[in-house]
Structure 1
Amino acid sequence: MSTPNKTEFTAELEGLAEELRRLRADRGSPTLTKIVARAAAMPGASSLSVSALSEAFSGKRLQRVDSLMTLVRTLLSYDEDGNRRSIPRAAPEMEVWRSRWRGLDQLRSPSKRRSSAVTAAQPPSHVVSPLALRVLTEDLVRGYALPLTPLDGPAAGHDALAFSPDGRYLALGGSDGAVHLQDPVTGQAVAGPLAGHQGIVRDVAFSPDGRLLASSGDGGPVWLWDMTFRSPVGGSLPDSQGALDSVAFSPDGRLLAAVGFGQYVYLWDTVTREMITTLDIGSPRADALAFSPDGTHLAAATSDGSLRLWSPATWEVTGDVAVGDCCDIAFSPDGNLLASAGADGAVRLWDHLAPVDTVRVMMSASARAVSAVAFSPDGGLLAGAMMDGTVHLWDPTNGQPLSDPFHAPLTEAYAVAFSPDGGLLAAVGHDKTVQRWITPALHAA
């Protein structure tokens, strides 16, 4: 029993050390001696030693909580140029590191783990009956999505949402100009609003490793947020112009693309934050863009009804196909299909390797515009958010709808997303609430 615990603890300790090294690099890579001196000059801080710092940065040993908090606070108290900034001991960003220490302390103490296991093993006070579980399971197997209690969103309306890769966060782009982070289960705010936009937040996207969050909006600039500290990475990204409607990370997380009003796709290096190139979309506006899962294509849907493809290897145009008025696009997880959300109420599937004819067309009965599309992580479901407030589910292998549309209490639905495990589907729109469903088990069969 001790080997698995030790392995898990070692892995988590190495992860903590990596984050400490990254924080040190972000603060100008001060020497160990300088860190010790800065800590000594900080009121209320514990004393640090060069040897203890070496162990912390190498992941050799878990420091005492006061030592770790002093190290983190010392690093946060200086920017990359060595300028002093005030970081109180009770600052919100410090709680993230305290939580990490508590988790590691729990892992290294078998007695605490056993105590937690006994506590977790106690049955809850309210248990769903076996018959009710059988009914729920049968509905899921038959392809019916099950509605859950809506979450109360923080803004009057939301134009964007995204699950973090680990499923811990649900990011909401608000009409109040802020990005809000919620627990997708309880709906409780995880942190204070990420404020920086001057207008409605139009899109949010997590990097593949979950370390970064990008947001775009009516205010113009794109913001890049560090999810460890839930703070901006050096302010808004440079050189973009006009309102930007869509952002997307490359599969390796090294590139961030954005597009909106204006005739260009903007591309930045997420490490250096420098703009590396702009791509002419041949139109005054694009509503959506997406990288293919293998990173070999970048696609953008333009306001003139075309779907333009580029190769990130050369940034040459590799395809330019008429798809009609399009509000959103999404690649299937295997990269074989590209879905486009039509203003005519149709979702079209394309073979992105040879996008000449559509693979199939899926129509909604309302014929209202489809504002957003999303594939489930296994590719077995395709969801579409409609401007009549409904959400539709299709089987992308045959284009058939799964049950009836979900009549969410939204005047208009603007965005839809699956959780990383595919078990939940969420939608937001012209309403304060976040709508959620348990997705059907048909695609897992």
Structure 2
Amino acid sequence: MRLRVTPFGEPLTGHSAPVAGVALHPGDELIATSDDTGLIRYSTGVEMSGSPYTMTLAFHPDGHLLASGGEDGVVRLWDLSGVPAGELKGHEDVVTAVGFHPDGHLLASAGWDHSVRLWDPVTRMPVGDPLTGHTGRVVELAFHPAGHLLATAAKDGTVRLWDAGTGQPIGDPLPGEGVAFLAGRLVIVGPDRLARADDEVITPEPVSGLTARGDVLAAVNWDDSISLYDLGATPLARVTGHSGAVQALALGRSLLVSVDDRGEVRRWRVDGLPDQPSDTEPFDQVARLRRSLVTLQHTHAVARRVRDDLHRRLEERDDLVRRLTARVDELETRMTSAVVARRLTGHDAPVHGVAFHPRGHLLATADRAVRLWDPVTRDQIGDPLPGGPVVAFHPGGHLLAAACADHTVRLWDPDTRRSFGDPLAGHTGPVTSVAFHPSGDVIATASADGTVRTWDTVMGRQLSEQPGTRVVFAGDDLVVGATAACGHLVATALPGGAVRLENRRTGAARELTGHTSDVRAVAFDATGDLLATGGGDRTVKIWDTASGAELSLFTGHTSAVNGAAFHPDGHLLATTSDDCTTRLWPTRLGGHAGPAEWAGA
């Protein structure tokens, strides 16, 4: 193999600090670099602000994402326009290395916390437990071209191999301080800083860093020159030109990029690099088979998890249906005889927020705290969560949004009771309503400060702001000023006790009248066929949305009704009140039957 390496264009400018990270787009048409200030630059001129001291970069194999890591321990994802695409949090110290699996289904990261972590770049979630075993800072990682192995090197003087599919260690640790794969063979930088493959020296002089692509290894020599070698240790080329210490390299199909501690980024045209190995080469055939196998294993594991989760959910649903059926029968018997359910202690202030989990197995209520209840047994689940008086469940049920006294909205996992992400901060007055978009990707909040804001549910960043004090989603549409919505139907409480019901599809509208005081609570059932209202007159009414007829009247609250929510299957209605209670009404009964009353709800 003969290579010809020549400077390509002028050095790239834009960095005013040492450049530590560099990555080359798979097509060689885009270069990403990062420096000690956290500045990340594309060669197109696009700039991003990453972690302080962003020291490692990697492009996804298909080129649509860039991963970065640095001092704050967060792995950040970026699209090609420089827009943040996700944050992966888990490392407890500096992230020193990131790299994508050859087929792109995994992202590996390593850091000073002695751990290696695997991530799903699509879901942005961890894959398995952290890979542990190193006793020093992990500084380098590399995937085998076939994707079945991951190699890591640490300051503890060891190189470790891991099964990329299972995350399990393979063999004993090997002595070494750096790592790469050259033509499918493991290359280790030893304590003497010479690079070896199977104990055969590849670099005849000490190196401070290396990278490999296919059959070619690029190494930074101690005099800051750059040498290229093949697996037989044949010197293929040597280039000089940097005035500072070379920090990192990236080798592409026909381009070599190098960066140094003076902020200089140099490009080199490499002529003579082999194309992808011939299909007739045994290694390539094995590599393709291995890559296909790893991809198949990952797909199978995901499908198996989905299947198991579906079976579990179906079993939970069946059990819930059995329990609810038995409980509803019991409640109907008790309600028709006007027997009041046992009182539960808990809330000691007027109750406002109320929401059912999409699967119906949880009920959330809130005043100055948020409590979760089993609607069948009426038992409180766990300790109260901070928040209130406004609550809303994510359409998928895995998040619960709760307004807080500091005018923020916090997201909680109702199963683990752990907070999700940072609080949604920006409002300067009490939050009056919270609503999720049907997709769950966007959350809308309204506040007494007169603003309505939308937020990215996962990232927590604000997307928009407009005037308003109430907000709902009617299908995909954000509706400001409305009180409740279901598909194309929107309900708005009017002064004096009336409720305006509007069909946004046809434009038809009517007013529902009957309350003798202002309406505070408005809720649709899941079908949009029923509308519940409650207010200062202490009554709860259920209406037929098609005809506007009043179907049921519930009495029992001793003070104003503040909130209402239908169970997902519509057989129960929960209402909250200034009388510090939540009540459950069986919607199929109507009339004045006594409700199940939770004094503590």
Provide TM-score, normalisation by structure 2. 0.43
- What is residue 329 of structure 1 aligned with on the other side? 179
Which of residues 146, 162, 172 is equivalent to 1:320? 172
Contact kept in structure 1, 2:113 and 2:137, CA below 8 Å: yes
| CA deviation map 1:208-244 (0-9, x unaligned) | 11111100112221111122x421123x212221001
Contact kept in structure 1, 2:134 and 2:158, CA below 8 Å: no
Please list, as runs of the form range in 1=range in 2, the aligned pairs for 1:50-129 lying within 5 A after superposition. none
- What is residue 424 of structure 1 aligned with on the other side? 255
Contact kept in structure 2, 1:343 and 1:371, CA below 8 Å: no
Q: 1:169 to 1:440 in 2, by over 3 A?
A: closer
Greater per-residue strand proportion: 2
Give the number of the structure whose alpha-carbon radius of gyration is greater.
2
| CA deviation map 1:29-58 (0-9, x unaligned) | xxxxxxxxxxxxxxxxxxxxxxxxxxxxxx
Q: 1:394 to 1:316 in 2, by over 3 A?
A: same
| CA deviation map 1:115-150 (0-9, x unaligned) | xxxxxxxxxxxxxxxxxxxxxxxxxx8644223344
Q: 1:150 to 1:338 in 2, by over 3 A?
A: farther
2:42 partner letter? L
Q: 1:361 to 1:165 in 2, by over 3 A?
A: closer
- What is residue 252 of structure 1 aligned with on the other side? 103
- What is residue 344 of structure 1 aligned with on the other side? 192
1:289 aligns with 2:130: no
- What is residue 73 of structure 2 aligned with on the other side? 220
Which of residues 165, 168, 174 is equivalent to 2:29? 168
* Alpha-carbon offset, residue 440 of structure 1: 4.3
- What is residue 233 of structure 2 aligned with on the other side? 399
* Alpha-carbon offset, residue 443 of structure 1: 5.2
- What is residue 382 of structure 1 aligned with on the other side? 217
Distance 2:174 2:160 in 1: 9
Distance 1:207 1:162 in 2: 10
Contact kept in structure 2, 1:392 and 1:401, CA below 8 Å: yes
* Alpha-carbon offset, residue 380 of structure 1: 3.4
1:146 partner letter? T
| Aligned-partner SS, 1:172 | strand
- What is residue 302 of structure 1 aligned with on the other side? 154
By relative contact order (CA 8 Å, sep 6+), the higher-ranking structure is: 1
Which of residues 433, 438, 445 is equivalent to 2:264? 433
- What is residue 513 of structure 2 aligned with on the other side? none
| Aligned-partner SS, 2:140 | strand
1:195 aligns with 2:49: yes
Distance 1:341 1:153 in 2: 31
- What is residue 326 of structure 2 aligned with on the other side? none
Distance 2:274 2:103 in 1: 27
| Aligned-partner SS, 2:61 | coil
Distance 1:217 1:410 in 2: 25
* Alpha-carbon offset, residue 268 of structure 1: 1.4
| CA deviation map 1:52-93 (0-9, x unaligned) | xxxxxxxxxxxxxxxxxxxxxxxxxxxxxxxxxxxxxxxxxx
1:372 aligns with 2:226: no
Distance 1:154 1:299 in 2: 33
- What is residue 414 of structure 1 aligned with on the other side? 247
Distance 2:160 2:202 in 1: 19
Contact kept in structure 2, 1:345 and 1:363, CA below 8 Å: no
- What is residue 154 of structure 1 aligned with on the other side? 14
| Aligned-partner SS, 2:166 | coil
Distance 1:252 1:390 in 2: 32
| Aligned-partner SS, 1:314 | coil
1:429 partner letter? D
Contact kept in structure 2, 1:170 and 1:182, CA below 8 Å: yes
- What is residue 207 of structure 1 aligned with on the other side? 60
1:293 partner letter? P
Contact kept in structure 2, 1:265 and 1:279, CA below 8 Å: yes
Considering only aligned residues, what root-mean-square deviation do their CA atoms show, in Å?
2.3
1:374 partner letter? T
Distance 1:409 1:315 in 2: 39
Q: 1:394 to 1:153 in 2, by over 3 A?
A: same
* Alpha-carbon offset, residue 309 of structure 1: 0.7
1:385 partner letter? V
* Alpha-carbon offset, residue 206 of structure 1: 0.6
Alignment gaps of 5+ in structure 1: 1-140, 184-188, 351-357
- What is residue 446 of structure 2 aligned with on the other side? none
- What is residue 475 of structure 2 aligned with on the other side? none
- What is residue 568 of structure 2 aligned with on the other side? none
Contact kept in structure 2, 1:387 and 1:414, CA below 8 Å: no
Contact kept in structure 1, 2:73 and 2:89, CA below 8 Å: no
1:204 partner letter? L
Distance 1:438 1:360 in 2: 26
Alignment gaps of 5+ in structure 2: 278-601
1:389 partner letter? D
Q: 1:144 to 1:168 in 2, by over 3 A?
A: closer
Provide TM-score, normalisation by structure 1. 0.57
| Aligned-partner SS, 1:145 | strand
Distance 1:345 1:390 in 2: 15
* Alpha-carbon offset, residue 172 of structure 1: 0.3
| Aligned-partner SS, 1:152 | coil
Distance 1:414 1:281 in 2: 27
| CA deviation map 1:261-297 (0-9, x unaligned) | 0121112111111122201033121110111122211
1:153 partner letter? T
Please list, as runs of the form range in 1=range in 2, the aligned pairs for 1:20-35 lying within 5 A after superposition. none
- What is residue 41 of structure 2 aligned with on the other side? 180
Q: 1:142 to 1:243 in 2, by over 3 A?
A: closer
Q: 1:144 to 1:226 in 2, by over 3 A?
A: closer
